[in-house]
Amino acid sequence: MILCQISDLHIKAGGKKSYRIVDTAESLRRCVAQVNQLRQRPDAVVLTGDLVDFGKPQEYAFLRQLLQPLDMPYYLLPGNHDERSALRAAFPDHAYLRQSAERIEYVIDDYPLRIVALDTVIPQASGGALGPASLAWLDQVLQAQPDKPTVIVMHHPPFKTGIGHMDQIGLAQPQALADVVRRHPQVERILCGHLHRSIQVRFGGTIASTCPGVAHQVALDLSPQAASQFVMEPPAFQLHLWDAETGLISHTAYVGEFDGPYPFYDGDDLID
């Protein structure tokens, strides 16, 4: 199975640029086209939050148009820029969004790799949290299928990144999540967004990771006093390949057209 992860789309209504610089809609269009053209098509796509910029209905309507060309099923979860009721209203056919009455937490059991989504959103706040009810639900869900390889998807990463301004708006009390996850060795990975960079950390007996942004990236400044800045490094998405022998194998793919592929040798390389 191949699971594609796209994160931090920040779509604005009418294709308006973020910060008057970032064309998030065009970046997503290019990403969707590239995912559709992959030599090995993903079985599914998960979008790990900050789907739009202000949680407005017109933003979600535009997002739906941009995602419509995807050739495979996709699954949405909210980030701190999202609004639950507007997201649900824009995607009424995505029944999994209503598995839980309040928070957007759900289980997808349709694939060899089980997908469990957690909702870390605190309304009107940039940081995230998981309450006791969410942690109890997660524990119960994981107990139900202890032998099926599983990924947990969520927006806020449950670990310190070293980028000061982002760590200030991370997940509160991550140890509570680590304690639950450690009891369930079938959890192959915790896939997160929010950081607009690729980061990996050992966590709760597994690996927690973040996905690059599909449009712009957070500046790489490993300082507690790091300023809140972004850079126009290449947009990217990730592919997570499930292999029964190896486990989950993750790749970062950059959005764009690049020279190649070229062979690593040609006839001239064989001549002294």
- Give the range of the structural domain holding residue 22, as residue numbers without chain letter: 2-257
Closest CA to 240 of 153, 142, 144, 119: 153
Residue at 264 is within a domain? no
pLDDT digits (tens, 9 = 90+) for 109-163: 999 999 999 999 999 999 999 999 999 999 999 999 999 999 999 999 999 999 9
pLDDT recorded at residue 265 = 77
User: In which band, very low, low, confident or very high, does the pLDDT at 272 lie, cut at 50, 70 and 90?
Assistant: low
Kindly state whether residue 72 falls inside one of the protein's structural domains. Answer: yes
Report yes or no on 271 lying in a domain: no
Q: Counting runs of H as helices and runs of E as strands, what totals does the chain give?
A: 6, 13
- Taking a C-beta distance cutoff of 8 angstroms, is the pair 31, 270 a contact? no
**Does residue 193 lie within any of the structural domains?**
yes
Read off the pLDDT of each residue in 214-242 and give the average, rounded to a whole number. Answer: 95
231 domain-assigned? yes
Structure tokens at 189: 């990975």
Count of CB atoms situated within 10 Å of the CB of 105: 23
CATH number at residue 43: 3.60.21.10
Count structural domains, the chain. Answer: 1
Per residue in 194-222, pLDDT (tens digit) is 999 999 999 999 999 999 999 999 999 99
Q: Which two tokens stand for residue 177?
A: 């999540």
270: which DSSP letter? G
Q: Please state, in angstroms and as integers, the Cα–Cα distance from residue 120 to each residue in 32, 101, 106, following that order.
A: 26, 15, 13
In a domain, residue 89? The reply is: yes
Per-residue model confidence as pLDDT tens digits over 33-92: 999 999 999 999 999 999 999 999 999 999 999 999 999 999 999 999 999 999 999 999
The dihedral built from the CA positions of residue 136, 109, 156 and 162, taken in this order, carries a sign that is positive
Residues in CB range of 154: below 8 A, 6 or more apart: 48, 49, 77, 117, 118, 119, 120, 128, 171, 190, 191, 192
Question: Is 0.75 topped by the overall pTM?
Answer: yes
* Residue at 265 is within a domain: no
Q: Is the pLDDT of residue 193 over 70?
A: yes
Q: Is residue 270 scored above 90 in pLDDT?
A: no
> Is residue 110 in some structural domain?
yes
Q: Are 48 and 9 within 8 A, CB to CB?
A: no
Contacts of 270 (CB under 8 A, 6+ apart): none
